[in-house]
Structures are given as C-alpha cells and as structure tokens.
Amino acid sequence: MNNNLLSDTKAILFIAIPMILSNISIPLLGLVDTAIVGRIGTTEIGSVAIGAATFSLIYWSFSFLRMCTTGYIAQAWGRSNLKDAEDIVQKTISIALFCGILIIILSIPLRDLCLLILGPSEDIKIVAQTYIDIRFWGAPAVLLNLVILGILIGSNKPWKVVIITIVTNLVNIALDFYLGVFLSYGVIGIAYGTLISEWIGVSLGIIIIKNTFPEFRIFSFSTKFNKVLKKIIVSNIDFFIRTILILTSIMMFTAIGARLGNLILAANSILILLQMFLSYGLDGFAQAAEVLVGNAYGAKKKILLKKIIMLTGIISFVVAIMYSLLYWFYGLHIIKIITNIDEVILSTSTYLPWMTISPVISFLAFHLDGVYIGTAKTRIMRNSMLISFTVYILSIIILVPYLDNHGLWISFLIFMFFRGMTLLSKYRAIYI
C-alpha cells in the first residue's frame, strides 16, 4: 500500500514539477522583455506593456484549446487508443488553425477593441498599434502551440513542454535584444523578435510531436464533422465561456480597485502578483490531476480514479497551507522586496490578511478544475463559473459600497469559494 502511495505521489510530482517550472517561465519572460525595452525609452515601455496585455487578453481567451486537448488526449491514452488520440490531434489542430487565421482576419477590430479597453495615452497608443499589428501574424503559431502543449501534457510528456517553453523564451529574449537594442529597431524589433520566436516554438513543437509519435498524422485536411469533432467543439465553447468570465472577473477587480484610488490600485496589483504566484504552484498539481485523472477515466478504472483525485487534492491542500504560512510570516517582507514606497507598503499590508487565507479558499477551485478538465466535464465547469460569477457580481454590489477595498477582496474570495464548492457539488458526475 505504501509502495503504491509512493508510486502515485511520484507520478503526480513527475508532472507537477515541470509544469510549475513552465508556468513560472512565462512571467519571467515578461520581466526580461520589460528590462530590454527599458533600455529604449518610457513610451516604448508603455507600448510593449499595452501590446503584451492585448495578446494576453486575446490568447488567454483561447486557452481552452490546451485544456480541451489535454483532457481528451489523457482519456485516449488511458484507453491505449492511439487511433482516437490521432483523431483528436487532427481535429484540435484544425480548430486552432481556423481560429488563428480568423484572428488575423479580424486583427484590426480586435486591436481597436483591446486598445479601447486598456485605454493608453495617445503617444503610447500609436507605437502600440505598430507592435500589435506585427504580432498578430503569430496567432496561428500561438494557438497551434497551445494544442501541442495539450498533446504533450495529456500524453504524460511534461518535460518536453518545458523544453518547448524554455527554448521559445530564450530565443525570444535573444531576438528582442538583438533586433530591439543591438540593431536599434526599438519596438518594431521587439515585435518581430517575439513573432519569430513564436513560429520557432511551434516548429520545435511539431518536430517533437513527430519524433515522439511517428505514427501520428498531425495534419488532416479531410477532417469530417463527426461525433468526436462535435464533442470537441461543444467542449471548446464551454471552456471559452468559462475563460471569458474569468477574464471579466479579473478586469472588474482591477477597474474597481482603480476607482478606489491609485494607492489601492498599487496595493491590489502587488497582492494579485502573490495570487498569481499561488496559481503557478496550484496549477502545476491541477495539471497533474488533468493527466492522471484523464488516464484513469479513459481506462474506466474507478478505484484508481478516486485514489488519484483524493491524492492530488490532499497534495494541493498541503501546498495551499504552505502558501498561507509563507504569506502570513513573510508577506510583509515580500511586499518590501517588490516596492520601497512606504505608502504602498502600508496600504498593501492592510489588505495582506485576505491574501493569507486566499490559498486555503482557492485550492479547491484549482484542484477540481484539473479533475473536470481530465474527465472533459466542461458543461459542469461552465455552469459552475456562471453561478460563481453571478455571486461575485452580487457580492461586489453589496459589499464594496460599504467596505471599499476590503469588500472587493471579500467578493473575490467568495468568488473563489463558490468556484470550488459548485464544482464539488457535482463531484458524483465524474463516476457516471
């Protein structure tokens, strides 16, 4: 029994650790990009920041491609059915290509909408438009890469995900510096550097897929509309609705914080960084749950399925406790590392207690997201988010007028709590 427990724990860590490393590399890339553009000028810093935010907004909306692919591939892997896996790969890649080309076609209205939402000053807006227009040509590569990552995660090849992510990021950094700073092309050079790295990244991904699964025919231009494609499209729509609601909730949190004053906005920005740091850890174990739960669900091994869900849940809870203790004992020190402005430190520390309990309240939502992605129960995830988002809006309406930023943070924690509890309420559906 102990040997089985140790073996299962190793299997979880084998996936979780590389996924955490991969997740952390993304914000680190953003920091390096900012450092590079910081050598050029203040307008350029703002322009790249706005441009990067635009693509975060767009591409995060399509993160369903990765999640959907992971769930269905993990299930096919659990059944040891390579034919099903190949069919899923072909169809998800076709959807990614279609969406990527559609983004290019709609690039101008999408660009204008994002700039309207983000509201930069006129001088930053002009430079940001050029940056955004160049980077739109990377849309098919980015969306294809999401599918490739989903294939590798679902087939239990997490370290190959790390290779693709790190190589892409290193190429991006090198090209940004060479084109943007060394050749003095500025923002245009940085945009082209990122664009080229995106296509190099997806090319590397395709090579890895072909070498790892030589029997797979990745591209099929005769994709028929059958039950599998219908199921994938419906799942993707469910994920898309869920993702849009998450994005909206984050934007609302930021916008309401901004209305409460610049000091509150600064404090919330720092605390959201801590929440993001939390998500990198919990997401790693959620992604481990996606794969192992998907394998067991696909193989129809109910006892193993229950054991994996319980074990990943316990590990996630322990990690959440560790985060809470870290923020409780060292939260103020972390804040002082991020900023040296006394007013901001004082304001942030006022709301830090909410951040210390956030991990324990949030862990269930992260964990069960992974479980439901692995079992492809996307309708439950969509409905859970609809309920949680409605409660979130009501909480903001009721609490913020009386409690200001405390009310905003309570509303956010209520949102995370309801996400977890609404998913938990449908737990039995996993075994049907």
Q: Stretch 210-232: mean pLDDT, rounded?
A: 74
pLDDT at 224 exceeding the cut of 80? no
Q: Which residues, other chains included, contact 367 with Cβ-Cβ below 8 Å and sequence gap of 6+?
A: 282, 285, 286, 289, 312, 313, 316, 317, 420
**Lowest-pLDDT range of 23-27, 68-72, 95-99, 160-164:** 23-27
pLDDT at 388 exceeding the cut of 90? yes
Same-domain check for residues 277 and 395: yes
Q: What is the reported pLDDT for 28?
A: 61
User: Per-residue confidence at 432, pLDDT binned at 50, 70, 90?
Assistant: low
User: Per-residue confidence at 84, pLDDT binned at 50, 70, 90?
Assistant: confident
Q: Stretch 250-257: mean pLDDT, rounded?
A: 87
Same-domain check for residues 211 and 287: no
Q: Quick one: angle between helices 227-259 and 82-105, nearest 10? A: 50
| DSSP H helices in 176-301 | 186-212, 227-259, 262-298
Identity of residue 150 = G
Same-domain check for residues 25 and 134: yes
> Within a domain: residue 169?
yes
> Within a domain: residue 5?
no
SS3 state of residue 341? coil
> Within a domain: residue 7?
no
Same-domain check for residues 263 and 408: yes
Same-domain check for residues 266 and 399: yes
Q: Is 397 exposed, middle or buried (0-12, 13-18, 19+ CB in 10 A)?
A: exposed
Output the CA–CA distances (angstroms, integers) from residue 280 to 7, 21, 87, 366, in the order listed: 24, 8, 31, 10
List of E strands, 106-233:
none
Between residues 153 and 215, the one the model is more confident about: 153
Same-domain check for residues 299 and 170: no
Q: What is the reported pLDDT for 333?
A: 94
Phi/psi of residue 405, nearest 5 degrees: -70, -30
> Within a domain: residue 411?
yes
Same-domain check for residues 266 and 387: yes
Residue-by-residue DSSP string for 360-390 = HHHHHHHHHHHHHHHHT-HHHHHHHHHHHHH
- Range picked from 53-62, 135-144, 252-261 for highest mean pLDDT: 135-144
Same-domain check for residues 249 and 352: yes
Whole-angstrom distance, CA of residue 71 vs CA of residue 63: 13
User: Per-residue confidence at 118, pLDDT binned at 50, 70, 90?
Assistant: confident
Q: What is the reported pLDDT for 269?
A: 83
Same-domain check for residues 376 and 258: yes
Over residues 294-316, the pLDDT tens digits come to 999 998 999 999 999 999 999 99
Residue 183 DSSP code:
S
Domain end position, chosen among 223, 247, 264: 223
Whole-angstrom distance, CA of residue 185 vs CA of residue 417: 48
Domain end position, chosen among 188, 223, 258: 223
Q: If we measure between CA atoms, which residue out of 1, 92, 64 comes closest to residue 311?
A: 1
User: Per-residue confidence at 42, pLDDT binned at 50, 70, 90?
Assistant: low
Domain end position, chosen among 197, 223, 249: 223
Identity of residue 384 = S
**Lowest-pLDDT range of 11-25, 93-107, 172-186:** 11-25
Q: What is the reported pLDDT for 57?
A: 79
pLDDT at 223 exceeding the cut of 80? no
For the chain, percent of residues with pLDDT exceeding 90? 50
Contact by Cβ (8 Å): 192, 206? no
User: Per-residue confidence at 60, pLDDT binned at 50, 70, 90?
Assistant: confident
Same-domain check for residues 297 and 360: yes
Contact by Cβ (8 Å): 44, 128? no
Q: What is the reported pLDDT for 250?
A: 87
Work out the number of other CB atoms within 10 angstroms of the CB of residue 98. Answer: 12
> Within a domain: residue 74?
yes
pLDDT at 26 exceeding the cut of 70? no
Whole-angstrom distance, CA of residue 290 vs CA of residue 424: 16
> Within a domain: residue 231?
no
Same-domain check for residues 190 and 308: no
Q: What is the reported pLDDT for 266?
A: 86
Domains in the chain, number: 2
Domain limits for position 63: 20-223
Same-domain check for residues 347 and 378: yes
> Within a domain: residue 228?
no
> Within a domain: residue 199?
yes
Q: What is the reported pLDDT for 225?
A: 57
Q: Which residues, other chains included, contact 197 with Cβ-Cβ below 8 Å and sequence gap of 6+?
A: 168, 169, 171, 172, 175
**Lowest-pLDDT range of 29-43, 234-248, 269-283:** 29-43
Q: Which residues, other chains included, contact 311 with Cβ-Cβ below 8 Å and sequence gap of 6+?
A: 5, 8, 9, 12
Give the residue carrying structure tokens 């635009």: 54
Q: Stretch 356-369: mean pLDDT, rounded?
A: 96
